[in-house]
Amino acid sequence: MTANRIAIEEHFWTPELRALRRGHDVLSDPELGRRLADLGAVRIAEMDEAGIDLQVISHVEPATQNFEPGEAVRLASAANDLLHQAIRSYPSRFAGFAALPTPDPEAAARELERAVTELGFKGAMVHGLTRGAFLDEKPFWPIFDTAQRLDVPIYLHPATPHADVIDAYYAGYPSMVRVGHGFTSEMSAAAIRLVLSEVFDVFPRVQIILGHLGEALPFLLPRVDRYVSRQMKKGRTFRDSIRQNFHFTTGGKFTHTALQCTIEEIGIERLMFAVDWPFHSNLDGSAFIETAPIGDDAKAMIFGSNARRLLRL
Protein backbone atom coordinates (compact mmCIF):
# COMPACT_ATOMS: atom_id res chain seq x y z
CA MET A 1 0.00 0.00 0.00
CA THR A 2 1.23 3.48 -0.84
CA ALA A 3 0.58 5.77 2.11
CA ASN A 4 -1.32 8.84 0.91
CA ARG A 5 -1.46 10.49 4.33
CA ILE A 6 1.65 10.26 6.46
CA ALA A 7 1.67 11.97 9.86
CA ILE A 8 5.20 12.41 11.21
CA GLU A 9 4.95 13.99 14.69
CA GLU A 10 2.87 11.43 16.55
CA HIS A 11 3.85 10.43 20.06
CA PHE A 12 3.96 7.57 22.54
CA TRP A 13 5.64 6.96 25.88
CA THR A 14 7.08 4.04 27.78
CA PRO A 15 5.82 3.26 31.28
CA GLU A 16 9.30 3.78 32.71
CA LEU A 17 9.87 7.20 31.18
CA ARG A 18 6.34 8.24 32.09
CA ALA A 19 7.06 7.43 35.74
CA LEU A 20 10.21 9.57 35.67
CA ARG A 21 8.51 12.79 34.55
CA ARG A 22 8.72 15.60 37.11
CA GLY A 23 7.68 19.23 37.53
CA HIS A 24 6.44 20.97 34.41
CA ASP A 25 6.75 17.71 32.44
CA VAL A 26 4.00 15.92 34.38
CA LEU A 27 0.83 15.43 32.32
CA SER A 28 -2.30 15.64 34.46
CA ASP A 29 -4.79 14.40 31.85
CA PRO A 30 -5.26 10.63 32.28
CA GLU A 31 -6.84 10.32 28.83
CA LEU A 32 -3.70 11.70 27.21
CA GLY A 33 -1.69 9.20 29.20
CA ARG A 34 -3.87 6.30 28.07
CA ARG A 35 -3.54 7.24 24.42
CA LEU A 36 0.21 7.83 24.64
CA ALA A 37 0.58 4.30 25.99
CA ASP A 38 -1.38 2.78 23.11
CA LEU A 39 0.57 1.35 20.20
CA GLY A 40 -2.29 -0.53 18.60
CA ALA A 41 -6.06 -0.46 18.38
CA VAL A 42 -6.86 2.99 19.78
CA ARG A 43 -4.20 4.71 17.72
CA ILE A 44 -5.12 2.93 14.49
CA ALA A 45 -8.85 3.53 14.95
CA GLU A 46 -8.25 7.28 15.24
CA MET A 47 -5.95 7.17 12.22
CA ASP A 48 -8.61 5.37 10.18
CA GLU A 49 -11.27 7.88 11.23
CA ALA A 50 -9.18 10.70 9.75
CA GLY A 51 -7.89 8.83 6.70
CA ILE A 52 -4.29 8.68 7.95
CA ASP A 53 -2.42 5.74 6.44
CA LEU A 54 0.88 5.90 8.35
CA GLN A 55 2.21 7.42 11.56
CA VAL A 56 5.92 8.05 12.09
CA ILE A 57 5.95 7.63 15.87
CA SER A 58 8.36 9.20 18.35
CA HIS A 59 8.69 9.31 22.12
CA VAL A 60 6.98 12.29 23.70
CA GLU A 61 9.14 15.06 25.19
CA PRO A 62 11.41 15.25 27.09
CA ALA A 63 12.37 11.64 26.26
CA THR A 64 15.91 10.95 27.53
CA GLN A 65 17.53 14.37 27.14
CA ASN A 66 17.84 15.18 30.86
CA PHE A 67 19.12 12.00 32.51
CA GLU A 68 22.59 10.95 33.57
CA PRO A 69 24.41 9.51 30.55
CA GLY A 70 24.27 5.84 31.52
CA GLU A 71 20.59 6.01 32.43
CA ALA A 72 19.78 7.88 29.22
CA VAL A 73 21.44 5.16 27.14
CA ARG A 74 19.43 2.42 28.81
CA LEU A 75 16.11 4.27 28.63
CA ALA A 76 16.49 5.31 24.98
CA SER A 77 17.42 1.80 23.89
CA ALA A 78 14.42 0.34 25.72
CA ALA A 79 12.07 2.94 24.23
CA ASN A 80 13.31 2.22 20.73
CA ASP A 81 12.97 -1.52 21.23
CA LEU A 82 9.37 -1.10 22.40
CA LEU A 83 8.50 1.07 19.41
CA HIS A 84 10.20 -1.41 17.10
CA GLN A 85 7.94 -4.19 18.37
CA ALA A 86 4.88 -2.07 17.60
CA ILE A 87 6.15 -1.36 14.09
CA ARG A 88 6.73 -5.06 13.53
CA SER A 89 3.13 -5.70 14.57
CA TYR A 90 1.75 -3.02 12.22
CA PRO A 91 4.40 -2.54 9.51
CA SER A 92 2.04 -0.87 7.04
CA ARG A 93 0.70 1.61 9.61
CA PHE A 94 3.68 2.59 11.79
CA ALA A 95 7.26 3.80 11.29
CA GLY A 96 9.60 5.31 13.86
CA PHE A 97 11.92 8.13 14.86
CA ALA A 98 14.51 7.02 17.41
CA ALA A 99 14.91 8.42 20.90
CA LEU A 100 18.58 9.36 21.35
CA PRO A 101 20.53 9.38 24.65
CA THR A 102 22.11 12.76 23.91
CA PRO A 103 23.69 13.12 27.39
CA ASP A 104 26.23 10.66 25.95
CA PRO A 105 26.72 11.96 22.38
CA GLU A 106 28.89 9.08 21.19
CA ALA A 107 26.32 6.60 22.50
CA ALA A 108 23.56 8.65 20.87
CA ALA A 109 25.33 8.33 17.52
CA ARG A 110 25.63 4.57 18.04
CA GLU A 111 21.95 4.31 18.98
CA LEU A 112 20.98 6.28 15.87
CA GLU A 113 22.98 3.83 13.77
CA ARG A 114 21.38 0.83 15.49
CA ALA A 115 17.88 2.27 15.17
CA VAL A 116 18.26 2.97 11.46
CA THR A 117 20.29 -0.03 10.30
CA GLU A 118 18.85 -2.72 12.59
CA LEU A 119 15.38 -1.46 13.55
CA GLY A 120 14.53 0.29 10.30
CA PHE A 121 13.76 3.70 11.86
CA LYS A 122 13.54 6.76 9.61
CA GLY A 123 15.60 9.21 11.67
CA ALA A 124 15.53 10.52 15.22
CA MET A 125 13.80 13.06 17.42
CA VAL A 126 15.62 15.17 20.00
CA HIS A 127 13.66 17.17 22.56
CA GLY A 128 14.84 20.60 23.64
CA LEU A 129 18.13 21.08 25.44
CA THR A 130 20.31 18.26 26.72
CA ARG A 131 21.01 18.91 30.39
CA GLY A 132 21.12 22.63 29.57
CA ALA A 133 23.19 22.35 26.36
CA PHE A 134 22.10 23.20 22.81
CA LEU A 135 22.51 20.60 20.07
CA ASP A 136 24.81 22.80 17.97
CA GLU A 137 27.58 22.48 20.58
CA LYS A 138 30.51 20.42 19.32
CA PRO A 139 30.19 17.46 21.72
CA PHE A 140 26.96 16.56 19.85
CA TRP A 141 28.50 16.57 16.38
CA PRO A 142 28.89 12.76 16.23
CA ILE A 143 25.08 12.67 15.95
CA PHE A 144 25.14 14.90 12.87
CA ASP A 145 28.01 12.92 11.40
CA THR A 146 26.00 9.72 11.71
CA ALA A 147 22.78 11.30 10.45
CA GLN A 148 24.54 12.60 7.34
CA ARG A 149 26.24 9.27 6.67
CA LEU A 150 22.95 7.38 7.05
CA ASP A 151 21.00 10.06 5.16
CA VAL A 152 18.30 10.41 7.83
CA PRO A 153 16.84 13.59 9.35
CA ILE A 154 16.88 14.83 12.94
CA TYR A 155 13.55 16.18 14.21
CA LEU A 156 13.97 18.95 16.79
CA HIS A 157 11.00 19.01 19.15
CA PRO A 158 10.37 21.42 22.03
CA ALA A 159 10.63 20.53 25.69
CA THR A 160 10.37 22.45 28.94
CA PRO A 161 12.82 25.38 28.72
CA HIS A 162 15.95 25.83 30.78
CA ALA A 163 15.18 26.44 34.47
CA ASP A 164 16.94 29.82 34.44
CA VAL A 165 14.77 30.94 31.52
CA ILE A 166 11.64 29.87 33.37
CA ASP A 167 12.69 31.86 36.42
CA ALA A 168 13.68 34.97 34.46
CA TYR A 169 10.91 35.08 31.87
CA TYR A 170 7.91 33.17 33.17
CA ALA A 171 7.83 33.52 36.96
CA GLY A 172 4.19 34.06 37.92
CA TYR A 173 2.97 33.14 34.41
CA PRO A 174 2.91 29.32 34.32
CA SER A 175 0.81 29.14 31.15
CA MET A 176 3.73 30.64 29.23
CA VAL A 177 6.32 28.06 30.28
CA ARG A 178 5.64 25.39 27.70
CA VAL A 179 3.15 25.56 24.82
CA GLY A 180 2.13 29.16 25.65
CA HIS A 181 5.56 30.55 24.67
CA GLY A 182 8.56 28.63 26.00
CA PHE A 183 8.39 25.80 23.48
CA THR A 184 8.45 28.08 20.45
CA SER A 185 10.97 30.53 21.85
CA GLU A 186 13.57 27.92 22.76
CA MET A 187 13.17 25.83 19.60
CA SER A 188 13.43 28.80 17.26
CA ALA A 189 16.59 29.82 19.14
CA ALA A 190 17.95 26.28 18.79
CA ALA A 191 17.33 26.35 15.03
CA ILE A 192 18.95 29.76 14.57
CA ARG A 193 21.98 28.63 16.58
CA LEU A 194 22.35 25.58 14.35
CA VAL A 195 22.47 27.80 11.29
CA LEU A 196 24.94 30.23 12.83
CA SER A 197 27.19 27.41 14.04
CA GLU A 198 29.45 25.50 11.68
CA VAL A 199 27.20 22.42 11.71
CA PHE A 200 26.03 22.85 8.11
CA ASP A 201 29.52 23.77 6.91
CA VAL A 202 30.88 20.50 8.26
CA PHE A 203 27.74 18.42 7.58
CA PRO A 204 26.11 20.13 4.58
CA ARG A 205 23.68 17.30 3.80
CA VAL A 206 22.16 17.05 7.29
CA GLN A 207 18.42 17.64 7.27
CA ILE A 208 16.54 19.08 10.27
CA ILE A 209 12.78 18.89 10.82
CA LEU A 210 10.89 21.47 12.89
CA GLY A 211 7.25 21.02 13.86
CA HIS A 212 4.46 23.50 14.51
CA LEU A 213 4.96 25.22 11.14
CA GLY A 214 8.58 25.96 11.91
CA GLU A 215 8.34 27.33 15.46
CA ALA A 216 7.49 30.84 14.12
CA LEU A 217 10.58 30.99 11.88
CA PRO A 218 8.64 31.53 8.62
CA PHE A 219 7.11 34.70 10.06
CA LEU A 220 10.47 35.84 11.48
CA LEU A 221 12.58 34.79 8.51
CA PRO A 222 12.98 38.12 6.66
CA ARG A 223 14.05 39.96 9.82
CA VAL A 224 16.29 37.19 11.16
CA ASP A 225 17.89 36.69 7.74
CA ARG A 226 18.74 40.38 7.44
CA TYR A 227 20.56 40.54 10.75
CA VAL A 228 22.07 37.14 11.51
CA SER A 229 23.34 36.55 7.98
CA ARG A 230 25.99 39.19 8.74
CA GLN A 231 27.62 36.67 11.10
CA MET A 232 27.68 33.87 8.53
CA LYS A 233 30.35 32.94 6.03
CA LYS A 234 30.17 34.59 2.63
CA GLY A 235 28.13 32.70 0.09
CA ARG A 236 25.54 31.38 2.55
CA THR A 237 22.73 33.29 4.23
CA PHE A 238 20.35 32.29 6.97
CA ARG A 239 17.56 31.98 4.40
CA ASP A 240 19.77 29.69 2.29
CA SER A 241 20.28 27.30 5.20
CA ILE A 242 16.60 27.22 6.11
CA ARG A 243 15.70 26.34 2.52
CA GLN A 244 18.50 23.79 2.12
CA ASN A 245 18.71 22.06 5.51
CA PHE A 246 15.28 22.39 7.15
CA HIS A 247 11.82 20.90 6.70
CA PHE A 248 8.73 22.03 8.62
CA THR A 249 5.59 20.15 9.62
CA THR A 250 2.00 21.16 10.33
CA GLY A 251 1.81 19.42 13.71
CA GLY A 252 -0.18 21.34 16.28
CA LYS A 253 -0.54 24.52 14.20
CA PHE A 254 -3.76 24.45 12.25
CA THR A 255 -4.23 27.98 10.90
CA HIS A 256 -4.34 28.73 7.19
CA THR A 257 -2.70 32.15 7.45
CA ALA A 258 0.35 30.58 9.12
CA LEU A 259 0.34 27.78 6.55
CA GLN A 260 0.40 30.29 3.69
CA CYS A 261 3.27 32.20 5.28
CA THR A 262 5.24 28.96 5.67
CA ILE A 263 4.66 27.92 2.06
CA GLU A 264 5.71 31.33 0.76
CA GLU A 265 8.88 31.47 2.86
CA ILE A 266 10.25 27.93 2.58
CA GLY A 267 8.43 26.35 -0.37
CA ILE A 268 5.79 23.65 -0.57
CA GLU A 269 8.36 20.90 -1.13
CA ARG A 270 9.70 21.29 2.42
CA LEU A 271 6.42 21.08 4.28
CA MET A 272 5.02 17.82 5.68
CA PHE A 273 1.85 16.72 7.41
CA ALA A 274 1.77 16.06 11.15
CA VAL A 275 -0.92 16.13 13.83
CA ASP A 276 1.01 16.07 17.14
CA TRP A 277 -1.18 13.20 18.29
CA PRO A 278 -2.61 12.73 20.90
CA PHE A 279 -2.31 16.38 21.92
CA HIS A 280 -4.29 17.33 18.83
CA SER A 281 -7.03 15.57 16.92
CA ASN A 282 -6.31 13.55 13.79
CA LEU A 283 -9.63 14.79 12.40
CA ASP A 284 -8.66 18.41 12.94
CA GLY A 285 -5.22 17.86 11.42
CA SER A 286 -6.60 16.23 8.30
CA ALA A 287 -9.38 18.79 7.89
CA PHE A 288 -6.82 21.58 8.14
CA ILE A 289 -5.07 20.44 4.96
CA GLU A 290 -8.29 19.30 3.24
CA THR A 291 -9.76 22.81 3.56
CA ALA A 292 -6.55 24.77 2.95
CA PRO A 293 -6.72 27.35 0.15
CA ILE A 294 -4.08 25.52 -1.91
CA GLY A 295 -4.28 23.22 -4.92
CA ASP A 296 -4.73 19.46 -4.86
CA ASP A 297 -1.13 18.87 -5.95
CA ALA A 298 0.13 20.96 -3.02
CA LYS A 299 -2.12 19.07 -0.62
CA ALA A 300 -0.77 15.77 -1.93
CA MET A 301 2.80 16.95 -1.35
CA ILE A 302 2.06 17.97 2.23
CA PHE A 303 -0.01 14.89 3.02
CA GLY A 304 2.49 12.34 1.75
CA SER A 305 4.89 12.76 -1.13
CA ASN A 306 7.31 15.11 0.65
CA ALA A 307 7.61 12.72 3.61
CA ARG A 308 7.99 9.70 1.34
CA ARG A 309 10.91 11.41 -0.38
CA LEU A 310 12.70 12.65 2.75
CA LEU A 311 12.18 9.50 4.82
CA ARG A 312 12.48 7.08 1.89
CA LEU A 313 9.17 5.44 2.78
> Between β-strands 54-59 and 6-12, what pairing exists: parallel, antiparallel or unpaired?
parallel
Residues 46 and 250: their CA atoms lie apart, in Å, by 18
* 8 Å CB contact between 85 and 105: no
Residues 295 and 108: their CA atoms lie apart, in Å, by 41
3-state secondary structure string, 238-258? HHHHHHHHEEEECCCCCCHHH
Residues 72 and 110: their CA atoms lie apart, in Å, by 13
* 8 Å CB contact between 61 and 86: no
276 is catalytic: yes
Phi, psi of 126 (to 5 degrees): -120, 135
Nearest one of 251, 165, 247 to 206, comparing CA atoms: 247
Helix/strand/coil for 232: coil
Choose the catalytic residue: 276, 284, 296, 297. 276
Q: Which residues are catalytic?
A: 276
